[in-house]
């Protein structure tokens, strides 16, 4: 069976040069990329790598790679990450890990933000199969939920609860996380702006026109995709 995630990781290596400072997200494809970097002696000793993910940072350390801190770095040459789904404009939903705020910070610091993964993640248009995740200041929870329900009455908003302890899931930044399930995804530009403007919302998991390219692998090989803006 073909490992398309590994193939995509291998194809992404050509966008990494010795001496660069890069960012990495989370997930299986990113772990493949870490393995490949660690096997290249020149890259392994010369790169500075920051990550939005605790698991990825731990794995980077285990591999002996140079882990940097984003608060001490002004910009990144490139940032690599996977997603749940992306469209032809490379708008992406990153709803799984709940670390989208930190991921967006790194994406905004990068000259190139490159999505990597298997071709099954690409769709003609984003849809409602994955929720929009929002990070919320705890004291703003009730007002945020009320505002969303008033604007999107058909949407279902669910606070993420922990299955490991009693209580809500807490983000890396000490905030709450909630999933917005739409019956039909609103127009992306409007959604991106409206959700950001609700006081108390730190960030959401729609990455609107942030990615500069995508590297995906599938039955027909490797594809490098540039955004097609309408």
pLDDT of residue 166: 80
* Other residues' Cβ atoms within 10 Å of the Cβ of residue 195: 22
The per-residue pLDDT of the chain, averaged, comes to: 94
The percent of residues above 70 in pLDDT, for the chain, comes to 99
**Two tokens, residue 124:** 């003609």
Domains 4-123+208-225 and 132-204 share a fold: no
- Going by pLDDT thresholds of 50, 70 and 90, the confidence category of residue 230 is low
Over residues 171-191, mean pLDDT? 94
Active site residues: 103
2-30: pLDDT as tens digits: 799 999 999 999 999 999 999 999 999 99
Judge if pTM exceeds 0.95: no
The percent of residues above 90 in pLDDT, for the chain, comes to 87
For residue 229, pLDDT beyond 80: no
Over residues 54-74, mean pLDDT? 94
Over residues 47-60, mean pLDDT? 95
pLDDT of residue 210: 96
34, HSE (Cβ side, Cα atoms, 13 Å): 27
131-174: pLDDT as tens digits: 999 999 999 999 999 999 999 999 999 999 988 778 889 998 99
Q: Is the dihedral of CA 49, 13, 37, 59 positive or negative?
A: positive
169, HSE (Cβ side, Cα atoms, 13 Å): 18
Instruction: Give exposure, 163-193, as e/b (b: 16+ Cβ within 10 Å).
Output: eeeeebbebeeebbbbbbebeebbebeebbe
Question: How do the domains of the chain map onto residue ranges?
Answer: 4-123+208-225, 132-204
Burial class of residue 137 in the structure, from the number of CB atoms within 10 Å of its CB (0-12 exposed, 13-18 middle, 19+ buried): middle
Which CATH number is 4-123+208-225's, of 3.40.50.1360, 3.40.50.300, 1.10.150.130, 3.40.50.10480?
3.40.50.1360
pLDDT of residue 2: 76
Over residues 115-139, mean pLDDT? 94
- Going by pLDDT thresholds of 50, 70 and 90, the confidence category of residue 56 is very high
132-204 is a CATH 3.30.70.260 domain: yes
Are the C-beta atoms of 200 and 147 separated by less than 8 Å?
no
């Amino acid at each position: 069976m073909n490992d398309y995630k590994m193939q995509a990781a291998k194809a992404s290596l050509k966008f990494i040069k010795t001496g660069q400072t890069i960012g990495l997200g989370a997930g299986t494809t990113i772990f493949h990329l870490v393995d490949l970097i660690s096997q290249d002696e020149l890259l392994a000793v010369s790169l500075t790598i920051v990550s939005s993910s605790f698991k990825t940072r731990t794995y980077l350390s285990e591999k002996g790679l140079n882990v940097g801190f984003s608060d001490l770095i002004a910009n990144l040459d490139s940032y690599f990450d996977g997603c749940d789904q992306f469209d032809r404009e490379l708008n992406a939903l990153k709803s799984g890990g709940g670390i989208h705020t930190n991921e967006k910070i790194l994406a905004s610091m990068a000259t190139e933000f490159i999505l990597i993964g298997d071709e099954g993640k690409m769709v003609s248009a984003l849809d409602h199969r994955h929720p929009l995740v929002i990070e919320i200041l705890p004291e703003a929870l009730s007002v945020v939920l009320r505002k969303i329900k008033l604007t999107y009455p058909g949407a279902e908003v669910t606070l993420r609860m922990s299955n490991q302890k009693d209580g809500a899931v807490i983000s890396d930044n000490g905030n709450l996380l909630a999933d917005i399930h739409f019956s039909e995804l609103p127009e992306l530009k409007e959604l991106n702006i409206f959700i950001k403007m609700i006081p108390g919302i730190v960030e959401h998991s729609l990455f609107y026109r942030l990615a500069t390219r995508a590297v995906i692998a599938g039955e027909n090989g490797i594809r490098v995709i540039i955004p097609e803006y309408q």
